Structure formats: C-alpha cells, structure tokens
Amino acid sequence: MLPQRPATPESARRLAGRHLIFDGAEFELGRKLGAGRFATVYHADRRRVDSPACAGAHLPTQLAIKVCELAGISAWGRMALVREQALWMKVDHPNVARCLGAIKTPTQAVILLEECQGGELFERIMKMNHFSEDRAARLTAELCSAVSHLHSCGIAHRDLKPENILLASDADDAPLKLADFGAAGLVHEGLRTPCGSLGYAAPEQLRGLFSQKRDRSGAPAAGSTYGYEVDAWAVGVIVYILLTGVMPFDPARYREAPLTVAFPDDLFGGVSAAAIDFIERLLCLSSSHRMTVQQAEQHAWL
C-alpha cells in the first residue's frame, strides 16, 4: 500500500474555471505548457492564501497544473491516473519534478507539479540538433541518478523519452527533471502491461505494444513480465539521441526491423569510445546481460 496524504475537506480543493483552490491557496491558471489526448498542462500563479499557516501557503508561488478530462477515459485509465499521482508523490529526488498534490472532481483529475521553466528536453534537442559530449554526459548522469532513485523505490518509469524529461530553466547548464509517471509501475507487482513509446521501448516490451487487445476495464492485454531493464534500454536510446540528434531505431519500422544499433562515422566520428561502449551496454537485446542503471552510474564515461 502506497502512503497517502491526509484527507483535505473537498471544499478546500476544487477547480473552478481558471482558478484552483488547494489547501487554502488560490491559483490562477495561465498559459498552456503542453497538451496530450486527455490532459492539458498549464502554468499557474498563486494569487492569495487564506492564512500564512495554511498548507497551501507552503506551495511554490508558481506551479504547473495538469488537468485531465475524465470523459472518454476507461475505468482502467482512471485508476492509472490515481496510480500516477501516488507513485509520483513517493519520489523525492533533485532530478525528478516534484508532485505537490492532487484533486479529483466528477469530471476532472488535477495534479499539481513543480514547474520547469526550460521546457522539454525534446525541444532543446530540436533547437540544438545535438549536445557536446561533455554536456550529454552530464545530462545522462542526472538522468541515471533520477532513474536509479526510482528503482530504489521499487518503481520502473516505463516511458523514458525526451518529451518526458524537463529542464529546470532556459540556461545551457540547467539540470534535468524527470516527469510524467503515467506509465510508471511497481516492479514487485510483476510488470506485464504493454506501455512505453515506439522508438524507446525495450525489446521485451514490444510484443505487448503491438497488441490491440483490451480487457473489460480498458486495460491492455498483459504480455510477458519485464522489469527495471526497460528503463536502462530507454536511457541508451536517449543518450544516442543526445550525441547525434537522431534515433538509433526507426519508430515507423520498429515492428518488423531488427533492433541492431549502428555507430556510423558521420554521426560518431568525434564521439569517444567510452560513450559508444556506454550506449552498447545499455542497448543490449538480452535484458539479463544489459547494463543496469546503477552500473551505468559507475561507467567510465560518466
């Protein structure tokens, strides 16, 4: 059983139009930071607090607020939202965006998050094309530290990709912040649910990802059991992208193409042997022989 925060009176937690009341603090929703199929993330500014002693007074004056529309979401999907918030709040690490609380109404689920002013790592890659090896190594060290902490909490993220990694600020040396725990799961429960993103999913996740079968709750049909190793594979894909600006595998051909990683000279001519070894050890087809994230933290490249 995951730890839960003490219950707060419903009147103290509600979303009304562009205003959010949470634990005695009122926030005004501002610009849209991002959007998905069922959720939109907004910037929010704190406008007032009921008293300096109220719980809301201890929240940051600026937040990111994720608003999930429940209409059209299956029963399994609604349970996944509750699980996302519970697992996210279990994690406390400087390279993980903080989950500060949650509200549920009959039509919406709302998650309060630490705002990261630098936006997605994906956007930074698109802007810069690729990073220097030193910068890539520093970001990778931060990512491995965050993922290793998740694993120490019994959690596998299962959807690591640049879109789910944020930067604390616009500065060139801004630290990264891991986000979006919508696919996260507890390894001791036995992970079998197909999830993840094509291009980043490990080989052991692939069979389930291509299945369209669902049970009565809307949950994807279970596949083979897998574990923390899927996150290690995704880290390898991300490092490849950081150094080259391109993906090692074509998502459009992920189903039929063999997952073999190549290091062409036009992309890796100036990359060190240590960096290539780091990637190769993570992108190992056999999960039992794949370098773990904890081992990656000790690798010579970092």
CA distances in angstroms from 251 to 177, 201, 257, listed in the order given: 25, 10, 10
134 is in an annotated binding site: no
Catalytic-labelled residue, pool 159, 172, 173, 250: 159
95 is in an annotated binding site: no
163 is in an annotated binding site: yes
Assess whether 159 carries a catalytic annotation.
Answer: yes
281 is in an annotated binding site: no
129 is in an annotated binding site: no
Binding site per annotation, positions: 37, 66, 163-164, 180
Binding site per annotation, positions for ATP: 37, 66, 163-164, 180
Q: What positions carry a catalytic annotation?
A: 159
